[in-house]
Structure 1
Amino acid sequence: MIITLKDGSKKEYAEAKSVYDIAMDISEGLARVACAGEINGEEVDLRTVVDSDCELNILTFDSEGGKAAFRHTASHIMAQAIKRLYPETKLAIGPSIKDGFYYDVDRETPFTSEDLEKIEAEMKKIVKEALPLERFTMTREEAIKFMQEKEEPYKVQLIEDLPEDAELSFYRQGEFVDLCAGPHLMNTKTVKAFKLTSLAGAYWRGNEKNKMLTRIYGTAFTKKADLEEYLARIEEAKKRDHRKIGKELGIFMMREEGPGFPFFLPKGMVLKNTLLDYWREIHNKAGYQEISTPIMLNRQLWETSGHWDHYKENMYTTVIDDQDFAIKPMNCPGGVLVYESEPRSYRDLPLRMGELGLVHRHEKSGQLHGLMRVRCFTQDDAHIFMTPDQIREEIKGVAKLIDEVYSLFGFKYHVELSTRPEDSMGSDEDWEMATDALRAALDDLGLDYAVNEGDGAFYGPKIDFHLEDSLGRTWQCGTIQLDFQLPQRFNLEYIAADGEKHRPIMIHRVVFGSIERFIGILIEHFAGAFPTWLAPVQVRVLPISDKYMEYGQKVLAELKEAGIRAEIDTKAEKIGYKIREARLQKIPYMLVVGAKEEEDGVVSVRSRFKGDEGQKGLDAFISDIKEEIKNRENRKVEVEEQK
């Protein structure tokens, strides 16, 4: 048999071999770090025997598949430890996830953080026992009986939902056996650097009508140093939590009277409006026309768009004059009605229409999370109507706009192209033309991108932009989606150069995504220390004592007259206290005024970036800060002041 490796090289063997044996033949070092294999695109155990020609990839922890196998094994080790310590616990599911793993369990006595320490200690014992993981199969009937005898009702439910003729795989490590498709590591001894990180509630099967289980989260790495680095990032993320900082800086609040509906406070509105002003500026330059569509439209519209049939469970509905209405969960149908409102010619295209539209979606209460997951948010939508030969240039224009925005905030990003899914609509020709246009636009721009085969929207392929924040976390914000379905459903037309009616192609795109979520990301990215142009308060005037309040008020008035967002600290406190307060509020500039400043008609400048910047004439300071704001500079911190 001939084995084709990832680099294109080939290995030939006269007899069947396991993936592990092939890895050993390639390199003993590779076998030592191998976590799983991939045969013809399917992830398998290292113990899997290869007996025919195939393409083989050895997966290490550096690959997503390798991480998944490693951390999935860690979840089984955790489950085994739980069953040893608390045998009455019932097990549900325990997959690997992006940054670790979890297991959902059911125990009458709730788990505590002290229990996690005991479970970790038992996990370390299991790792030292170096238990081999062995895969075996059962019929569905045998599997149900097996799990009933073990008194694992959640496993029984999982098995009962599978086809009657299904053959199910199990993994055994010592006395512990779990229903699992795999793949897994060959031995528990490999999993040495791990940590159980948190507890949460999770409904069985994600249905709030089902029982609430306990979800125990953990993570695992091959090296202790990598684990420690990850845990340090988690601690830093806690400090930067936008809910905590948002409250401290007076940006937004949440109330139980409106779960999932954020309240923006005065400083938060300054921040939000500054972002929206920037959005309008760059879209105006890029040839977009701003529109606003109703927040509520009738059922017939949502039936035509397909939302009533496919999205109704996430929509808020009401009845007006005996007619069903829905609050919009998306802006696109309203944008389509604007296009449809008058005859269109090819000379009008491309037509770029932007909308800062408030949308509402019914998210489950357990999924709500500060500004990151809300029920009401502003989408910075735009819809571009165009001819087929305009796709490539329009995609490039949107990609450049997204790059401009993300670069301004200091975000790195990566790009993914998602292609036709199985349940798609439209002709093969349309899909091929659209996907080729997206590829060509990305190639023209020189952007590296990964391809997500089959992950496009049902109405067209798409490009997603995943930004990376200062902690290395990624967020999917920007997206460009090609849509054939809505123009067809609404029978949109334009008169082409040949005098005939043709159907336009539509682009859906967002840059921020959700304004609210983007603000949450910015809060955590900057830890609340926004660039001066974006800061709700750009300058705070600090009189040394009440004697200099009048001069301070004069300075404040001149700052405001110049269009600078400024305030004055009128508290009867010492100057050291006032400076500390301003620093805690992340204010970019503090102007200290006292006897010498008043006498010389100057201000003493302290900044978040350099600390003491010395005395300056007020006009010179205003000129400098206005230039910084105009250029939307992101000054770097040069000196960390002691707190």
Structure 2
Amino acid sequence: MVAEDSKENIPAQKEAKVSTAPTELNPWPDFIQRRIDMWDKLMAEYKAEVAAKEPSPIKITLPDGKQFDAEAWRTTPIQIAEKISRGLADTTVIAKVNGEVWDLDRPFEKDSTLHLLKFDDDEAKQVFWHSSAHVLGEAMERYCGGHLCYGPPIQEGFYYDMWHDNCTISPDDFPKLDQIVKCAVKDKQPFERLEMSKEDLLEMFKYNEFKVRIIKEKIHTPKTTVYRCGPLIDLCRGPHVRHTGKIKALQITKSSSSYWEGKADAESLQRIYGISFPDPKQLKEWQKFQKARLLVILFRQEEAAKRDHRKLGRDQELFFFNPLSPGSAFWYPKGAHIYNTLMNFMRKEYRKRGFTEVITPNMFNSKLWETSGHWQHYSEDMFRFEVEKEQFGLKPMNCPGHCIMYSHQPHTYNELPLRYADFGVLHRNEMSGALTGLTRVRRFQQDDAHIFCRRDQIGDEIRGCLDFLTYCYETVLGFTFKLNLATRPEGFLGDISTWNEAEADLKEAKVITVHESVNGYARDVKNRLYGEGFEVEFDEGCPDTLNKQIRNAQLAQFNFILVVGAKEKKTAL
């Protein structure tokens, strides 16, 4: 679909009186009008509340430091954009107010910083495609009356999931959906934002079992936001473009099936994908690129088939699989040689970097997995069995075992960081259909490590890990890799301040630096000895006297005790 350019005036929202296409339902499902009636009532109350707020003078600051006078609860980002230039206002997709993406027609509430983002900005693209998903969702409702589920932006475009008991949307239906999309875009339906209570949300979406689940299970605040464009009203965090007319070019690209929240035992849904742009020329360029990319993909698939590791493993007699032990590789002598060579390389690197290798059990009582949370959230992916009326599980990862090892002895802050490396065998109960050569298996070993350190050591440890990754993947193996910052999960344990500090260190550690001898000559001596195969401990920052430190080392039966000071360092140099 490509929409004609038109003036920027936005029509007032009407009682679901929009342009209609011959391909849509007539009449629409009853739930659409019930939603609109409830929305109109609540929106009128909200507008009265905003009108009653006393406007106060505020300052809006742009990235270049320029300031504009404004009024709280009255002035909007689009008004500031228009003061700068009409062209800027036309091409701005979304605002960013005090670091938060913000609707262009949503009033400022206090003194604020303002960034105006165009489509070439990644955040603006996500907003644009999210708004396009709502237009697609509106068309899906108007076409077959399905119950919408999730409709997010993705890396390139968007999709909407829908449940319907007796209607299946196929590529043959795309032109019919496209007609409805064109009507929605032509009408320049404003995107309007409203905060609603959980009680009102449950009433508005009571017709849709999936929305009810989201409201009950995912919303933990007294109020949350919904957005409306035309007859579509949906749960949504937002923000969105000003109106549907901004979406000048939209193409429905494909359809597929999916499961509710990705769970194979849940309801089957229909997923419709799309792509959109603010300029029809951009859609044409994208279409050309897709054709070229398809040729590249086909070429790569042919080349990948020639280099399929499963074929190479068989042809070169490296490894094989047998249905009597699915997902578990049998390694021939040549394959075992490669396997052990890689493991020895990792062992050597671990030693250089101050890791000590440990060995932990393969199976643990379910009490451990209950404590770690794996039993509640991961037990279906574990191999479980009963021993003397007790439930056990084969370990799918080393984390809990290393925690037991750390807690088995008392430790002082001087001993930290402790770096445990483990090549233990792991088992995961992957579904048989997901098993794929060596990339998805049931039995495997990984170069797994855990670091126990002080709060003030986190930054250095993260930088050390990133240096380790860079050396192994880029310097030695010639690969490249990308990093994604993973932060706390929704149900995190511990206090929020500790998480905030640790995540701040992760962000700071993104720049990888190499520090030779950064911790002084004594640490360098320790690392060099350790790299040569000696078991070495470095008594760093210990408050005890020198004599007591020597006595403690003698009691621990160290074979050699080195006292390193300025004289030793000077002599070595």
TM-score (norm 2): 0.62
Letter in 2 for 1:40: N
Q: Cα 1:307–1:192, aligned 2, differ >3 Å: closer, same or farther?
A: same
**1:400 matches 2:467:** yes
Of the three residues 111, 123, 139, the one matched with 1:53 is: 111
Matches within 5 A, 1:17-416: 17-50=75-108, 52-84=110-142, 86-108=143-165, 111=168, 113-115=170-172, 117-118=174-175, 121-122=178-179, 125-126=182-183, 129-135=186-192, 137=194, 147=205, 152-155=208-211, 158=214, 166=223, 169-173=226-230, 175-222=231-278, 223-224=282-283, 225-226=285-286, 228-229=288-289, 232-233=292-293, 236=296, 240=300, 245-246=308-309, 249=312, 261=327, 275-276=342-343, 278-303=345-370, 305=372, 307-308=374-375, 312=379, 314-338=381-405, 350-361=417-428, 377-385=444-452, 393-408=460-475, 409-414=478-483, 416=485
Could you say what secondary structure the match of 2:400 adopts? helix
Aligned position for 2:548: none
Aligned position for 2:542: 497
Q: Structure 2: how far apart are the matches of 1:274 and 1:217?
A: 46
- The answer as to whether partners of 1:140 and 1:168 remain within 8 angstroms in 2 is no
Structure 1 position 5, deviation (Å) = 2.7
Structure 1 position 135, deviation (Å) = 1.6
TM-score (norm 1): 0.56
Q: Structure 1: how far apart are the matches of 2:91 and 2:290?
A: 20
Gaps of 5+ in 2: 1-57, 516-538, 546-573
Gaps of 5+ in 1: 448-493, 501-643
Could you say what secondary structure the match of 2:113 adopts? strand
Q: Structure 1: how far apart are the matches of 2:211 and 2:254?
A: 24
Q: Structure 2: how far apart are the matches of 1:440 and 1:147?
A: 43
Letter in 1 for 2:119: F
Letter in 1 for 2:156: D
Could you say what secondary structure the match of 2:360 adopts? coil
Report the identity percentage: 32
Letter in 1 for 2:494: M
Q: Structure 2: how far apart are the matches of 1:155 and 1:387?
A: 44
Letter in 2 for 1:396: R
Q: Structure 2: how far apart are the matches of 1:143 and 1:342?
A: 53
Letter in 1 for 2:229: R
Q: Structure 1: how far apart are the matches of 2:412 and 2:201?
A: 64
Q: Deviations over 1:169-228 (max 9, x none)?
A: 33123x444443422222333334544444333333444443211222333344222464
Could you say what secondary structure the match of 1:218 adopts? strand
Q: Cα 1:427–1:499, aligned 2, differ >3 Å: closer, same or farther?
A: farther
Higher strand content, 1 or 2: 1
Q: Structure 2: how far apart are the matches of 1:192 and 1:255?
A: 55
Q: Cα 1:101–1:321, aligned 2, differ >3 Å: closer, same or farther?
A: same
Structure 1 position 320, deviation (Å) = 1.2
Q: Which moved more, 1:153-162 or 1:319-328?
A: 153-162
Q: Which moved more, 1:248-257 or 1:31-40?
A: 248-257
- The answer as to whether partners of 2:171 and 2:254 remain within 8 angstroms in 1 is no
Could you say what secondary structure the match of 1:326 adopts? strand
Q: Cα 1:79–1:236, aligned 2, differ >3 Å: closer, same or farther?
A: farther
- The answer as to whether partners of 2:151 and 2:161 remain within 8 angstroms in 1 is yes
Structure 1 position 71, deviation (Å) = 0.8
Structure 1 position 297, deviation (Å) = 1.8
Q: Cα 1:248–1:431, aligned 2, differ >3 Å: closer, same or farther?
A: closer
Q: Which moved more, 1:234-243 or 1:275-284?
A: 234-243
Could you say what secondary structure the match of 1:50 adopts? coil
Could you say what secondary structure the match of 1:93 adopts? coil
- The answer as to whether partners of 2:185 and 2:247 remain within 8 angstroms in 1 is no
Aligned position for 1:445: 513
Structure 1 position 104, deviation (Å) = 1.0
**1:3 matches 2:60:** yes
Letter in 2 for 1:298: N
- The answer as to whether partners of 1:38 and 1:56 remain within 8 angstroms in 2 is yes
Q: Structure 2: how far apart are the matches of 1:191 and 1:253?
A: 52
- The answer as to whether partners of 1:127 and 1:191 remain within 8 angstroms in 2 is no
Letter in 2 for 1:48: R
Structure 1 position 20, deviation (Å) = 1.6
Structural RMSD (CA):
4.7
Structure 1 position 129, deviation (Å) = 1.8
Structure 1 position 421, deviation (Å) = 8.7
Q: Cα 1:387–1:257, aligned 2, differ >3 Å: closer, same or farther?
A: same
Q: Cα 1:347–1:53, aligned 2, differ >3 Å: closer, same or farther?
A: closer
Letter in 2 for 1:59: L
Q: Which has the higher contact order (CA 8 A, sep 6+)?
A: 2
Q: Cα 1:437–1:172, aligned 2, differ >3 Å: closer, same or farther?
A: closer
Q: Cα 1:63–1:375, aligned 2, differ >3 Å: closer, same or farther?
A: farther
Aligned residues: 448
Structure 1 position 3, deviation (Å) = 0.8
